[in-house]
Amino acid sequence: MKTKSPLSILFLLIFLGTFPNESKAQLKYIGLKDEANVREAQQIVYHTYASRYAHFWPKMHLFDNYVYVTTADGIYRKTLETLDETTWEQYAFKGVPIRNFVKNGDKLLAATPAWQDSILLLSEDDGKTFTNVTPPSFFIEDYENMAQVYNIASNPLNSNSLLISLYPKGVAKSTDFGANWSTLGGELGGYQDWFLGFHPNDTTIIFNTGETPVFNSFISASYDNGETWKIVETRNNHCTHELVFHPSNPNIIISGGEGRIAKSYDKGKTWTDSHSSTPIIYIYSIVYDENNPNILYASGNIHGPEEYIIIYRSTDGGETWNEYINEYMAGADGIIDMELYGGKLIIYTMTNGIYTLDLSSTNINNPVKKQTVLYPNPVQGILYGKGKETPQNVTLFSITGKTIFNQNPGLQNFEIDMANYAKGIYLLRISYENDVETEVIINQ
């Protein structure tokens, strides 16, 4: 086995010690790497239902002292007391992809990606058995007898009061936990449909969000219990994925989308962009801190190959955002959902299962804010870099300190063809006007 020379080790230590580097995030794995792989689930759903409408973006919920995770193989759960352990219970709807679900005591109503049958499934015995309760009225002959339930949500003040985003009819409502449904209308995206829900402080207000087939985002709102609807915001080439509501001020709502976080001060009627450093990440999940509504966390994934977990934090109520965590995780592909409990973020990654992040850890209180995302690393072939600013210089060093690549890219994004160099460990320095970042690159 080859060993590094003392000179190589000395250079590595000096190099890494000379420039600022991020603190370790201490993400802790708590299970479901195979069971909760979102990308594999999307392939399963696509091939099972053979429909371009069969999008699959699973969710995570905290109910009744449990954390619940929807997957392509039903719903898994574990008690919050055993949060740090890796064992989970396969709880309900085994063998069925579940987009989202609502719960009222022992009753569960789940939305599946099916489009011709078994769109809504009901369990009345706490997940032990279930039946298909999809109303025939959902299917319309003019639409080839096809229907889809993109999402389902419950009224936080009345668990029997439910909403679904129902293609092709629009938003529908039930007041008896899904036994009967009435169509309210409202906008559906058709290309992507994401958030659906009641305003928790005024449940006569309803929102749904997404993206239309011409790639325009929308936030659709009703302020009269679904009687009338209007588009309160739309943007070109964009999708709005998430809405979160201030825990005590009913006027404040935060939205997350493609490289954008925005804030409303008037119950969603108008929106203002936050001052954020999130130009390359699709925001899928935003959570308020349990004890301080001025603190929020937001995350998602980069549009493209990704092996980093990136979480942003605001400490001024969502006015401004800065990078909080940027940690390499092979194949993670970002985050689809987050919850916060007991001072820990519970994180549903795209491909690596479920993790927790202890927010009290001294290693992550003040991490250095990285400006560059590099992927893949380890690398075979092209190494891609995405900067928040344009680097002045990108330099690649061998382990002995020899400069083997040096470039002023002139753009925020850059590439290095690592196939031109021998396998091994390299050191990459990215120089900005007011910052220098370094990374260890493993060339395979």
Domain layout of the chain by residue ranges: 6-20+373-443, 28-370
Sheet bearing 413-417, strands edge to edge: 372-375, 382-387, 413-417
Question: What would the two tokens of residue 318 be?
Answer: 């969502």
Q: Which helix (H) or strand (E) holds 41?
A: helix 38-49
User: Which residues have a Cβ under 8 Å from the Cβ of 173 and sit 6 or more positions away?
Assistant: 161, 162, 163, 181, 182, 184, 226
CA 423 from centre of chain: 34
pLDDT tens string 139-178: 887 777 788 899 999 999 999 999 999 998 999 999 999 9
> Rounded distance, CA 68 to CA 60, Å?
6
State the amino acid at position 356 in one-letter form: T
Residue 133 burial (C-beta neighbours within 10 Å; 0-12, 13-18, 19+): middle
Q: Output the pLDDT for position 173.
A: 98
CATH topology of domain 28-370: Methylamine Dehydrogenase; Chain H (2.130.10)
pTM for this model (two decimals): 0.79
> Rounded distance, CA 84 to CA 266, Å?
39
The residue whose two tokens read 């829900």 is 197
Neighbours of 47 (CB within 10 A): 9
Q: Output the pLDDT for position 332.
A: 77
Go through the chain and tell me how many residues it has: 444
- Phi, psi at 44, each rounded to 5°: -60, -45
Averages of pLDDT over runs of 10 residues in the chain (444 residues) are 46 45 67 95 85 78 96 98 96 97 98 92 97 93 82 97 94 97 88 94 96 92 96 91 97 94 97 72 94 95 73 93 83 91 96 94 52 83 86 86 87 91 89 80 90
CATH topology of domain 6-20+373-443: Immunoglobulin-like (2.60.40)
Q: Output the pLDDT for position 331.
A: 76
Q: Output the pLDDT for position 2.
A: 45
> Rounded distance, CA 371 to CA 393, Å?
13
Q: Output the pLDDT for position 85.
A: 96
> Rounded distance, CA 283 to CA 296, Å?
13
Which among 364, 354, 360, 363 is positioned nearest to 84, based on CA atoms?
354
